[in-house]
Structure 1
Amino acid sequence: MQTSPLKIAVLFGGTSEEREVSIASGAQVVLALRAAGHDVLAIDTSRGLLGGEDEVRFLSSRVNEAPPASEALAMIRAGQSNALQAATLAGVDVVFVALHGGTGEDGTIQAMLDLAALPYTGSGHLGSALAMDKDMAKRLFVSAGIPTARWLMAPVEPEAAGEQLGYPLVVKPNSQGSTVGLSVVRSADQLADAIALAGAYDSEVMLEQFIAGREITVGVLGDEALAVGEIVMDPNAVFDYKAKYQPGAVREIFPADLPEDIAEQARALALRAHRTLKLDGYSRSDFRLDSHGVLWCLEVNTLPGMTATSLLPQSAQARGIAFSELCDRICRLAIERHSKRK
């Protein structure tokens, strides 16, 4: 595998509800790769190549308690430039995709990079699309024997939802991340409003059985499951947007304090989910561990958060892989994968 310094374009920002999270990831990935000796271009896909003061300003911003308002995102979309111009990416060895949600994680950017014959980090367009579509991912989990909560797709009558899923239940957009638009519905009279909220973010809305229990997460790098972690919170709560991105909102433990057989099962299920969805490079699988010791797969993230304190980097750090090394290895895995496809 190549070991010399690389020219790397880091794509971040974008126009999804996870824009601020992506900027936070991109900022730390840029710094980590430069610290590793690489030549790094910082590219906001809604604005283009950043330099000088723009780079400092964008990469020092923070994640707010709520995702950006739809009006603000609409203004960015209206003025966005084509960031993936041939001249901008000329001579780049690999593209580090630090986007979250939207066209950055659903396979669209990946398909464009495939057409340009550019190596890029993370999964290909098919795996990205499969993981982003929660309904399709859960169908594949069932076929692969991966436990996942029961679900229905809207429209659903409140009585039918109660009979098939029970209350409380979870309502969420089918193709969103970071729990954007997600609600825990505790009675039938709350269902319509929750479906309307989720529908504001996606044309498809999922209703899912609520699994009470411990929040477990496992990173995958290459073809290896990393350390199992736990997000310590109320077992009847949800790891929501605010809890994920505001310091001190929850406690994260790596490695998790679990019996070894449960930890090994979590690693095995994370690898199985990664392979079932045809993913590449890296991913992060999230589970609920119920009171009977059963692990339920909630979802798989193809482009999980990539700040030094995000869950995947913590999963890697617990295995002795520092953040800069993790970023470097992700890039080199992408180049290796691309070379095999030629």
Structure 2
Amino acid sequence: MCSKSVLRVALIAGGRSSEREVSLKGAQAVKKALETLGHRWEFFDPATDLLALMQRAKEFDCAFLVVHGPGGEDGTLQGFLDSIGLPYQGAGVLGSALAMHKGLAKQLYRLAGLKIPEGRSFTKEESFEKARDFAKSLGYPVVVKPATQGSSIGLTIVKQEKDLSEALEKAYAVDNEILIEEYLKGREITVGILDDKPLPVVEIVPKASETFDYTTKYTPGLAEEICPAPIGEELTKKAQNYGLIAHNCLKLRHYSRTDMIIKDQEIYVLETNTIPGMTETSLLPLAAKVAGYTFESLIQKLLELALRERR
């Protein structure tokens, strides 16, 4: 077991996406855990350091990814690491690309039998009238969000038609493709998967906004995270099963976190994160803690899963 040996870890965080600061914050927690575990690590930023990493790849046993958004979770970084022979935790190229595109992921969820909000994707080339007519057919409020961004960046809940144009501009400012979906008001939950097994369900209760948006996610005190979620045994098992189905239908591995909404005792799948937040207070580490993992043992587990790919 690699738990008995010192590992040389390339810690990869930062990047050029709008989630750069979130990535760097998570990397700080992972650095601390790696030091506690006794591993040797070196930091690499995909925005500036990939050439250096390629030249020195043989010096490391594995990479640990704490990169979010385009360029980190969409398969491009994973393909680079595959090409230089450096194993890493989390989804490979295909799974990363599928999960990153919310429109494609929704199609796969539906094919796998999961319930999803009604909606469709639009590109900048399509007319505003098409988007307006579709939103009207869903009925307000609707959700407008970029197709390939995380952390709720660019997301707007549009309550009236007069606000749709501004919401589209906000989403298109960070992505060339967007989604318009029906707005489901209910209980927000998330299900983590670790080593292809479901973790305890977490319920997220925003205190100052309607949704678990960017500000709420990363401002202490603006949301309450409850684990295990008090939703009853039947819904808990169903949510965990949905999380596992989402994980598998997107061709993921090692770990993931799928966000869902409970409305009228039905569970709707929203999206899946292939590199979940990795601070000590993030949602997947919280669920892992309830399952018996310290933050350090969670990081060790993920390192072992990465090395399993090399073997």
Give the shorter-chain TM-score range: over 0.9
Is contact 2:254–2:302 with CA below 8 Å preserved after alignment? yes
Deviations 1:30-60 (A, max 9, x none): 1101101111112222243xxxxxxxxxxxx
Query: Structure 2: which 5+ residue stretches go unaligned?
Result: none
Tell me the equivalent position of 2:201.
228
Is contact 2:207–2:224 with CA below 8 Å preserved after alignment? no
Is contact 2:9–2:41 with CA below 8 Å preserved after alignment? yes
Alignment partners' CA distance in 1, 2:206 and 2:14: 29
Alignment partners' CA distance in 2, 1:168 and 1:143: 26
Is contact 2:207–2:223 with CA below 8 Å preserved after alignment? no
- Amino acid corresponding to residue 32 of structure 2 in structure 1: L
Change (3 A) 1:26 1:235: closer
Q: How far apart are residue 334 of structure 1 and its match?
A: 1.1
Q: Give the count of matched residue pairs.
A: 304
- Mapping of residues 231-242 of structure 1, within 5 Å: 231-233=204-206, 237-242=210-215
Alignment partners' CA distance in 2, 1:235 and 1:158: 29
Q: How far apart are residue 190 of structure 1 and its match?
A: 1.2
Deviations 1:227-281 (A, max 9, x none): 1011113698111100000110111111111101111111110011000000011
Q: Report runs of 4+ in structure 1 exceeding 4 Å deviation.
A: none
Q: How far apart are residue 92 of structure 1 and its match?
A: 0.5
Tell me the equivalent position of 2:120.
152
- Amino acid corresponding to residue 98 of structure 2 in structure 1: L
Change (3 A) 1:236 1:262: farther
Secondary structure of the equivalent of 1:314? helix
Tell me the equivalent position of 1:162.
136
Deviations 1:285-309 (A, max 9, x none): 110011x111111100000100010
Tell me the equivalent position of 1:283.
256
Change (3 A) 1:47 1:160: closer
Q: 1:183 aligns with which of 144, 156, 169?
A: 156
Alignment partners' CA distance in 1, 2:54 and 2:2: 26
Q: How far apart are residue 198 of structure 1 and its match?
A: 0.3
- TM-score under structure 1 normalisation? 0.86
Tell me the equivalent position of 1:116.
84
Q: 2:95 aligns with which of 127, 131, 153?
A: 127
Is contact 2:191–2:257 with CA below 8 Å preserved after alignment? yes
Change (3 A) 1:84 1:257: same
Q: Are 2:18 and 1:17 aligned?
A: yes
Q: Are 2:307 and 1:335 aligned?
A: yes
- Amino acid corresponding to residue 40 of structure 1 in structure 2: W
Alignment partners' CA distance in 2, 1:262 and 1:273: 16
Secondary structure of the equivalent of 1:104? coil
Tell me the equivalent position of 2:2.
2
Tell me the equivalent position of 1:137.
105
Is contact 2:92–2:252 with CA below 8 Å preserved after alignment? yes
Tell me the equivalent position of 1:102.
70
Alignment partners' CA distance in 2, 1:234 and 1:132: 28
Secondary structure of the equivalent of 1:283? strand
Secondary structure of the equivalent of 1:97? strand
Tell me the equivalent position of 1:52.
none
Alignment partners' CA distance in 1, 2:179 and 2:145: 5
Q: Are 2:57 and 1:85 aligned?
A: no
Tell me the equivalent position of 1:29.
30
Alignment partners' CA distance in 2, 1:19 and 1:241: 13
Query: Structure 1: which 5+ residue stretches go unaligned?
Result: 49-80
Tell me the equivalent position of 2:242.
269
- Amino acid corresponding to residue 142 of structure 1 in structure 2: R
Is contact 1:141–1:273 with CA below 8 Å preserved after alignment? yes
Secondary structure of the equivalent of 1:194? helix
Say what the alpha-carbon RMSD is for the aligned residues. 1.5
Q: Are 2:283 and 1:314 aligned?
A: no
Is contact 2:209–2:216 with CA below 8 Å preserved after alignment? no
- Amino acid corresponding to residue 6 of structure 1 in structure 2: L
Is contact 2:144–2:155 with CA below 8 Å preserved after alignment? yes
Is contact 2:208–2:222 with CA below 8 Å preserved after alignment? no
